[in-house]
C-alpha cells in the first residue's frame, strides 16, 4: 500500500512536469498540442546522446546511478528540446495559427508528433535503453516501502521546478504577461505586450520541463521511442483535470492520475490500469466540465 | 475447382510413383492431409506437405501398407477453418480416408476434430497445432482418443520447471507471465504442477506486452513474500520486468522461460544478477533416427530440412502408416488403437526411411513388437495424444549463457509421472 503511494507520487510528479507544459500551451496558444508528449521523448533521448558524448566526465555521484554527464546532459536536453519546440512552432504552428479552424492545428500536431517519434526511432533504434546499465537496488525505507535514491532525486527536482515556475509566473513581468495572454489575448496586445515574445517563452518553458520529465522518466523507468506516446493520455488527463491553463491544477491533476494508476492495480488486473485516467477524466468532466479547478477564462471560452 | 485439381494432381503423383516402385500393387489406401498450402501459412505449408509426401513415398518403397499402395491426398485449407472443415469432410466422405494429417493452425485443427474426424471415427494426427485446448478437450473425453500430435505442448515445460524449483527448495513462488495464450497456459500448468509437488504459488500476475514499466505488476507479484520468481516473457519486456523485480528487492532465485534465452536479455538485466537464475528451452534432438530423416530429405528435395513442422509432419505420417500396418486394416478406430503399440513400449526400434519401414513391416508380420523412433527422436503419446520432447536448462556464468543440464525424454516423462500421481 505504502509502496503504491510512493510509486504513484513519483509517476504523478513526472506526469505533472509534462502536463505543466501542455497546460501552458493549451492555455496560451489555445489548441491541444499532441506533439507535446514527443518533446518528452526527444528530451530524454537528447540527454542520452549527451551522456554518451560526455561519459568520461565522471562516474556516479554518491548513492545515485548517474553523475555529472547526466546533469549536463539534462541542461543540453532542455536547450535542444526548446530549439525543437521553437522550430516546430515556426515551421508548422505559426503558419496555421491564422486559420479559423482549431482542428487544423490539432491535426498538424498529430502529424508533428509522428514525425518526431519516427525521427527518434530512426536515430536511436527501437530497443529499450537506460542511462546507466547498472541496476540500482531499492533501499527498504519502511516496512513495505522500498525507494531508490534516483526516485527521491526525481521527486525533489520535480518539486523544485514546480515551485520555481510558480514563483516565476507570479513575480516576474514575463510571467505576468504569460498569465495575461492566457486570460485575454486582445487586451494584452492592446497593452503593448509582445505576443511573439511571450509565445516563444511559453514554448521554451514547456519544452524544458518536458525534457526534464523525459530525463526523470528515463532515469526511473527506461527509455523507449514510445515513452511520449504512452504518456500522452495521462498528460491530457492531468491537464484537463486541473483546468486548462492552471499550473497548480496540472500538478494536482498529475498526482491524481499517477496515484490512481498505481492504486488501481489493487482492484483491477494490471492490464487495465491504462484505462484508469480516462475513467477519472470522464467522471470529472461529467461533474465539472472546466476541470477540478477553474481554468483560464480564455481557455474556457 | 482448385480442390479437384489438387486431388487429381496428388492422385497422379501417387500413380506415377506406384508405377516406378518395386512392388506395384493392385489396391490403394488413401491417406488425407489438410494443410495451409496457400494463405497466411503458405510459406511453410507446402514444405510441410512435402514432408508428408516423403513419408508416404518411403512407405510405398518399402512395399506399401497391408499390401496396398498408399495414396497421399493433400488438401489446402487456405488458412481458413471453413475451407479446412470442408476439405476434411470431402476426404472422409468421398475419399474414405481412415486418417487425416493436420492441420497446421490450432484454429483449423480444432473444428476438423470436433465436427469431422471424431464423429466419423477417423484418426487425426497434427504436426503443428500446439494449443493447450486440445489437451483440455482430450481430458474431458471430447476427442475419443482420435487426436494425436507430434509437436510437444508447453505442459512438459511447466512440469520440468516445477520439478527444478522444488529440487532447488523453493517454497513460495510468484509467477509473472505475458498475457497471451502461451503465457496463460504455461503459468496455469506450472501452478498445477508446482502445487502437486507440495509448493505454493504466491501469485500469478499477467502483464501486457510493450509497456515501459511493470512496476505495478511487480509490486503485486512481491506481495506475500515469495522466495522465487517464474518469469514467462519475451526478451525485451522480460528484461524490464526482471530489472524492476530485482531492484525492488525480489529474490534472485529466478526461473526463466525459453524465450529469455537471449544475450539481449542477459545484457539488459546484468549478468551479475542472474547467477542464481535457471532457464529452460527445447533441446535440439539428435540421434541416428533424426539423421536418417535429414539425409533422405536432402536427397529428395536437395535442401536442408530446416523449416518448422517438417520433422513433426514426417513423424505424423509415419506413425499413421505404421499404426495402419499394425492394425492390419485401414480403419480409423483400429489405427487409433494401434498408435501406442508402435511408439512407446519396449519393441525393436525402427527408424525413418524405406529400410526402416521395410524392417517394421517384417517385424509386424512376424508378430514382433516395434518402436518407431522418428525424425523427432523417440515418440511417446500420453493419454491425451500429446508428446513430450527433450529439454535443456540454461543459466548465466561469467556473463555468458551456458547449458546447465539436459532433460532427455525419459527424465521428462518421469517428472510428468511424478506430477500426475498426486
Q: What is the pLDDT of residues B244-265, one digit of tens each?
A: 999 888 899 999 988 788 888 8
Q: How many CB atoms lie within 10 A of CB B378?
A: 22
pLDDT at B25 over 80: no
Q: Please answer yes or no on whether A270 and B205 come within 8 Å at the CB atom.
A: yes
Residue A294 lies in a domain: no
Mean pLDDT of B98-104: 92
In angstroms, the separation between the Cα of residue A251 and the nearest Cα of chain B is: 22
φ, ψ (nearest 5 deg) of residue B168: -80, -5
**A34 within a domain of the structure (yes/no):** yes
Ramachandran category for residue B66: left, alpha or beta (phi over 0 → left; psi -120 to 50 → alpha): left
Tell me the residues of chain B between 176 and 215 that have a Cβ less than 8 Å away from chain A: 179, 205-208, 210-215
Per the domain annotation, does A43 fall within a domain?
Answer: yes
Q: At what angle do helices A36-54 and A195-220 cross, to 10 degrees?
A: 60
Q: What is the pTM of this model?
A: 0.69
Tell me which of A252 and B345 has the higher pLDDT.
A252
Q: Measured between CB atoms, which of B216, B246, B273 is closest to A265?
A: B216
The angle at the Cα of A168, spanning A167 to A172, to the nearest 5 degrees, equals 115
Given an 8 Å threshold on Cβ–Cβ distance, is B239 in contact with A226? Answer: no
Interchain proximity B247–A148, CB inside 8 Å: yes
Q: Which whole number is the average pLDDT over B134-151?
A: 91
CA distances from A13 to A59, A118, A169, B218 (A): 26, 27, 19, 21
> What is the rounded distance in angstroms from the CA atom of residue B184 to the CA atom of residue B366?
48
- State how far residue A239 is from chain B, nearest Cα, in angstroms: 22
Chain A contact probe: residue of B203, B204, B208, B215 with most A CBs at under 10 A: B215
Residue A6 has which C-alpha cell? Answer: 510512493
Instruction: Tell whether B43 is within 8 A of chain A (Cβ).
Output: no
| pLDDT of A166 higher than 60 | yes
The rounded distance, in Å, linking the Cα atoms of B121 and A229 is 54
Domain range for residue A69? 14-229
Please check whether residue B96 touches A, CB under 8 A. Answer: no
Homologous superfamily of the B155-283+390-420 domain (CATH): Response regulator (3.40.50.2300)
B211: chain A residues, CB-CB within 8 Å: 230
With helix as H, strand as E and coil as C, how does chain B read? CHHHHHHHHHHHHHHHHHHHCCCCCCCEEEEEEEECCCCCCHHHHHHHHHHHHHHHHHHHHCCCECCEEEEEEEEECCCCHHHHHHHHHHHHHCCCCCEEEECCCHHHHHHHHHHHHHHHCCEEEECCCCCCHHHHHHHCCCCCCCEEECCCCCHHHHHHHHHHHHHCCCCEEEEEEECCHHHHHHHHHHHHHHHHCCCEEEEEEEECCCCCCCHHHHHHHHCCCCCEEEEECCHHHHHHHHHHHHHCCCCCCEEECHHHCCHHHHHHHCHHHCCCCEEEEECCCCCHHHHHHHHHHHHHHCCCCCCCCHHHHHHHHHHHHHHHHHHCCCCHHHHHHHHHHCCCCCCEEECCCHHHHHHHHHHHHCCCCEEEEECCEECCECCCCCECCCEEEEEEECCEEEEEEEECHHHHHHHHHHHHCC
Protein fold of B2-151+309-378: Rossmann fold (3.40.50)
Question: Which chain B residues are closer than 8 Å to A262 by Cβ?
Answer: 216
B234 touching chain A per CB within 8 A: no
Mean pLDDT of chain A: 87
Q: Cell numbers at residue A132, please? A: 546507466
Confidence (pLDDT) at A296: 55
Q: How far apart are CA A238 and CA A253, in angstroms?
A: 4
The residue whose grid cell reads 502408416 is B321
What pLDDT is stored for residue A17 in this prediction?
93
Shortest distance between the Cα of B403 and any Cα of chain A, in A, equals: 25
Report residue A159 CA to chain centroid gap: 13
Residues of A in contact with B273 (CB under 8 A): 135
Identity of the residue in B216, B247, B273 whose CB atom sits nearest the CB atom of A138 = B247
* Residue B420 C-alpha, separation from nearest chain A C-alpha, in angstroms: 31
Cβ contacts of B239 on chain A, cutoff 8 Å: 128
Poorest-pLDDT segment among A231-240, A291-300, B165-174, B286-295? A291-300
Quick one: pLDDT at residue A211?
Answer: 96
Interface test with A, best of B187, B210, B216, B244 (most A CBs within 10 A): B216
Contact (CB<8Å) A137/B239: no
Tell me the C-alpha distance between A260 and A11, whole Å. 10
Other beta carbons within 10 Å of B120: 18
Residue numbers in A near B220 (CB within 8 A): 265, 270
* pLDDT tier for residue A227 given thresholds of 50, 70 and 90: confident
Best residue of A63, A135, A257 to probe chain B, by most B CBs closer than 10 Å: A135
> What one-character DSSP code corresponds to residue A191?
T
Q: Which residue has the cell 523453493?
A: B170
Nearest CA in chain A to B207: A271
Distance CA A230, CA A216 (A): 15
Contact A270 B215 (CB under 8 A): no
- Indicate if the alpha-carbon torsion angle B6, B7, B11, B14 is positive or negative: positive
Could you tell me which chain A residue has the CA closest to the CA of B273? A135
**Which residue among A3, A135, A217 places its CB closest to the CB of B247?**
A135
Q: Are strands B147-149 and B172-178 parallel, antiparallel or unpaired?
A: unpaired
A270/B210 CB distance under 8 A: no
Distance between CA atoms of A19 and A252, rounded to whole angstroms? Answer: 10
Per-residue pLDDT at B26 exceeds 80:
no
- In DSSP terms, B348 is beta-bridged to B370
Pairing of strands B99-102, B28-35: parallel
Do B218 and B250 form a contact (C-beta atoms < 8 A)?
Answer: yes
pLDDT band at A14, cuts 50/70/90? very high
Cell triple for B184: 496463460
The residue of chain A with its CA nearest to that of B264 is: A127
Q: What is the mean pLDDT of residues A186-204?
A: 89
> What ipTM does this complex have?
0.74
Instruction: Nearest by CB to B236, from A127, A134, A140: name it.
Output: A127
The nearest CA of chain A is from the CA of B245 a distance in Å of 10
pLDDT band at B21 (very low <50, low <70, confident <90, very high): very low
| B243/chain A closest Cα distance in angstroms | 7
Contact, B108 vs B84, CB < 8 A? Answer: yes
- Give yes or no for residue A205 having a pLDDT over 90: yes
Q: Give the containing element (helix H, strand E) for A13.
A: helix A2-29
Residue B259 grid cell: 524465450
Sort strands B377-378 and B172-178 into parallel, antiparallel or unpaired: unpaired
B44 burial via Cβ count (<10 Å: 0-12, 13-18, 19+):
middle
Please give the mean pLDDT across all residues of chain B. Answer: 86
Is residue A275 in some structural domain? no
Write the CA distances from B240 to A220, A231, B226, B265, B267, integer angstroms: 12, 17, 19, 9, 12
> What 8-state DSSP symbol labels residue A126?
S
pLDDT band at B388 (very low <50, low <70, confident <90, very high): confident
CB-neighbour burial class of residue B180 (10 A; exposed 0-12, middle 13-18, buried 19+): middle
- CA-based nearest residue in chain B for residue A258: B216
* pLDDT of B216 over the 90 cut: no
For residue B103, whether the previous peptide bond is cis, meaning omega lies within 30 degrees of 0, is: yes
SS3 content of chain A, % helix, strand, coil (to 5): 75, 5, 20
For residue range A253-279, list pLDDT tens digits in order: 999 999 988 888 778 776 677 788 888
| pLDDT, position A295 | 59
CA A281 to chain B, closest CA, distance in angstroms equals 21
Q: How sure is the predictor about A245, in pLDDT bands with cuts at 50, 70 and 90?
A: confident
Which tops the pLDDT comparison, A290 or B375? B375
Q: Which of B212, B215, B247 lies closest to A136 in CB terms?
A: B247
Rounded to 5°, the CA angle B316-B110-B385 comes to: 45
pLDDT band at B227 (very low <50, low <70, confident <90, very high): very high
The per-residue pLDDT for A294 is 65
pLDDT at residue number B12: 46
| Among A248-252, A290-294, B12-16, the least confident range | B12-16
* Bridging pattern class, strands B400-407 and B348-350: unpaired
| Residue at grid coordinates 498569465 | A179
Whether chain A has a CB inside 8 Å of the CB on B217: the answer is: yes
The verdict on a CB contact (< 8 Å) between A227 and B212 is yes
pLDDT at B87 over 90: yes
Q: What pLDDT does residue B390 have?
A: 82
Task: Name the residue in chain B with its Cα closest to that of A1.
Answer: B219
Give the number of C-alpha atoms closer than 13 A to the C-alpha of residue A179, restricted to the C-beta side.
Answer: 13
Domain boundaries, chain B: 2-151+309-378, 155-283+390-420
In terms of Cα–Cα distance, which of A295, A264, A265 is closest to A279?
A: A264
C-alpha–C-alpha distance, residues A246 and B294, integer Å:
71
With an 8 Å Cβ cutoff, are B220 and A265 in contact?
yes
* Domain count within chain A: 1
pLDDT score at B284: 65
- Judged by CB atoms within 8 Å, which residues 256-295 of B form the interface with A? 264, 267-270, 273
Q: Over the stretch A61-112, which tens digit does the pLDDT of each residue have?
A: 888 888 899 999 999 999 999 999 999 999 999 888 877 787 888 899 999 9
Residue B22's pLDDT is what?
42
How far apart are alpha carbons B158 and B163 in whole angstroms? 9
Say what the pLDDT of residue A298 is.
Answer: 44
Chain A residues whose beta carbon lies within 8 Å of the beta carbon of residue B274: none
pLDDT in tens, B276-313: 999 988 776 778 888 889 999 999 998 888 777 888 99
Whose cell is 532525486? That residue is: A153
Q: Side-chain half-sphere of B316: how many Cα atoms within 13 Å?
A: 37
pLDDT of residue B421: 52
From A148, A222, A262, residue closest to B212, measured CB to CB = A222
In sign, the C-alpha dihedral spanning A99, A101, A106, A107 is negative
pLDDT digits (tens, 9 = 90+) for A167-181: 999 999 999 998 888
Chain A residue numbers touching B248 (CB-CB < 8 A): 3, 138, 146
| Contact call for B205 and A222, based on CB within 8 A | no
- B215 → chain A, closest CA residue: A7
Q: Which residue has the higher pLDDT, A146 or B321?
A: B321
Amino acid at each position: 500500500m505504502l509502496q503504491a503511494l510512493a510509486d504513484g507520487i513519483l509517476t504523478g510528479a513526472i506526469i505533472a512536469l509534462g502536463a505543466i507544459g501542455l497546460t501552458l500551451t493549451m492555455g496560451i496558444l489555445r489548441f491541444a498540442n499532441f506533439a507535446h508528449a514527443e518533446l518528452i521523448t526527444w528530451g530524454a533521448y537528447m540527454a542520452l546522446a549527451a551522456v554518451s558524448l560526455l561519459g568520461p566526465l565522471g562516474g556516479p555521484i554518491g548513492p545515485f546511478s548517474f553523475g555529472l554527464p547526466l546533469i549536463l546532459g539534462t541542461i543540453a536536453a532542455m536547450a535542444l528540446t526548446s530549439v525543437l519546440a521553437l522550430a516546430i512552432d515556426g515551421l508548422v504552428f505559426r503558419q496555421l495559427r491564422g486559420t479559423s479552424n482549431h482542428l487544423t492545428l490539432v491535426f498538424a500536431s498529430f502529424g508533428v508528433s509522428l514525425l518526431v517519434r519516427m525521427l527518434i526511432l530512426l536515430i536511436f533504434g527501437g530497443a529499450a535503453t537506460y542511462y546507466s546499465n547498472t541496476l540500482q537496488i531499492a533501499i527498504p525505507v519502511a516496512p513495505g516501502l522500498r525507494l531508490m535514491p534516483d526516485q527521491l532525486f526525481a521527486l525533489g527536482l520535480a518539486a523544485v521546478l514546480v515551485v520555481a515556475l510558480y514563483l516565476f509566473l507570479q513575480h516576474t513581468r514575463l510571467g505576468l504577461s504569460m498569465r495575461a495572454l492566457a486570460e485575454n489575448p486582445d487586451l494584452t496586445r492592446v497593452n503593448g505586450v509582445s505576443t511573439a515574445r511571450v509565445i516563444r517563452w511559453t514554448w521554451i518553458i514547456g519544452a524544458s520541463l518536458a525534457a526534464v520529465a523525459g530525463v526523470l522518466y528515463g532515469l526511473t523507468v527506461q527509455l523507449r521511442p514510445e515513452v511520449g506516446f504512452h504518456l500522452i493520455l495521462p498528460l491530457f488527463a492531468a491537464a484537463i483535470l486541473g483546468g486548462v491553463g492552471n499550473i497548480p491544477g496540472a500538478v494536482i491533476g498529475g498526482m491524481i492520475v499517477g496515484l490512481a494508476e498505481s492504486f488501481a492495480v489493487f482492484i483491477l488486473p494490471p492490464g487495465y490500469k491504462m484505462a484508469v485516467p480516462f475513467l477519472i477524466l470522464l467522471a470529472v468532466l461529467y461533474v465539472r466540465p472546466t476541470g477540478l479547478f477553474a481554468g483560464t477564462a480564455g481557455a474556457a471560452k | 475447382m482448385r480442390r479437384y485439381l489438387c486431388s487429381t494432381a496428388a492422385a497422379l503423383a501417387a500413380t506415377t510413383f506406384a508405377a516406378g516402385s518395386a512392388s506395384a500393387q493392385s489396391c490403394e489406401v488413401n491417406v488425407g492431409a489438410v494443410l495451409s498450402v496457400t494463405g497466411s501459412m503458405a510459406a511453410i505449408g507446402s514444405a510441410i506437405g512435402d514432408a508428408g509426401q516423403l513419408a508416404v513415398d518411403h512407405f510405398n518403397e518399402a512395399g506399401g501398407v497391408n499390401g496396398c499402395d498408399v495414396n497421399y491426398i493433400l488438401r489446402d485449407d487456405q488458412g481458413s477453418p471453413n475451407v479446412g472443415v470442408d476439405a476434411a469432410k470431402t476426404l472422409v466422405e468421398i475419399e474414405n480416408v481412415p486418417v487425416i494429417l493436420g492441420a497446421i493452425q490450432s484454429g483449423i485443427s480444432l473444428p476438423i476434430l470436433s465436427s469431422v474426424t471424431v464423429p466419423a471415427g477417423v484418426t487425426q494426427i497434427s504436426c503443428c497445432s500446439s494449443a493447450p485446448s486440445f489437451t483440455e478437450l482430450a481430458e474431458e473425453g471430447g476427442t475419443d482418443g482420435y487426436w494425436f500430435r507430434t509437436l510437444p505442448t508447453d505442459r512438459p515445460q511447466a512440469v520440468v520447471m516445477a520439478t527444478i524449483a522444488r529440487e532447488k527448495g523453493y517454497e513460495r513462488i510468484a509467477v509473472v507471465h505475458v498475457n497471451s495464450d502461451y503465457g496463460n497456459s504455461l503459468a496455469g500448468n506450472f501452478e498445477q504442477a508446482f502445487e502437486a509437488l507440495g509448493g505454493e504459488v504466491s501469485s500469478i500476475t499477467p502483464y501486457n506486452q510493450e509497456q515501459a514499466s511493470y512496476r505495478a505488476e511487480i509490486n503485486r507479484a512481491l506481495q506475500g513474500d515469495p522466495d522465487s520468481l517464474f518469469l514467462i516473457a519475451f526478451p525485451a519486456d522480460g528484461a524490464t520486468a526482471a530489472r524492476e523485480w530485482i531492484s525492488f528487492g525480489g529474490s534472485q532465485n529466478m526461473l526463466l522461460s525459453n524465450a529469455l534465452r537471449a544475450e539481449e536479455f542477459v545484457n539488459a538485466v546484468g549478468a551479475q544478477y542472474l547467477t542464481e537464475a535457471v532457464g529452460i528451452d527445447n533441446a535440439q534432438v539428435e540421434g541416428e533416427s533424426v539423421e536418417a530423416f535429414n539425409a533422405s530429405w536432402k536427397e529428395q528435395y536437395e535442401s536442408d530440412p530446416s523449416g518448422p513442422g517438417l520433422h513433426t509432419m514426417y513423424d505424423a505420417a509415419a506413425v499413421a502408416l505404421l499404426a495402419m500396418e499394425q492394425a492390419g486394416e485401414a480403419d480409423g478406430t483400429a489405427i487409433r488403437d494401434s498408435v501406442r503399440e508402435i511408439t512407446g513400449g519396449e519393441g525393436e526400434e525402427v527408424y525413418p526411411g524405406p529400410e526402416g519401414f521395410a524392417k517394421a513391416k517384417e517385424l509386424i508380420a512376424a508378430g514382433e513388437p516395434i518402436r518407431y523412433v522418428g525424425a523427432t527422436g523417440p515418440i511417446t503419446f500420453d493419454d491425451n495424444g500429446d508428446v513430450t520432447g527433450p529439454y535443456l536448462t540454461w543459466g548465466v556464468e561469467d556473463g555468458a549463457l551456458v547449458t546447465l543440464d539436459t532433460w532427455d525424454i525419459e527424465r521428462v516423462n518421469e517428472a510428468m509421472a511424478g506430477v500426475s500421481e498426486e
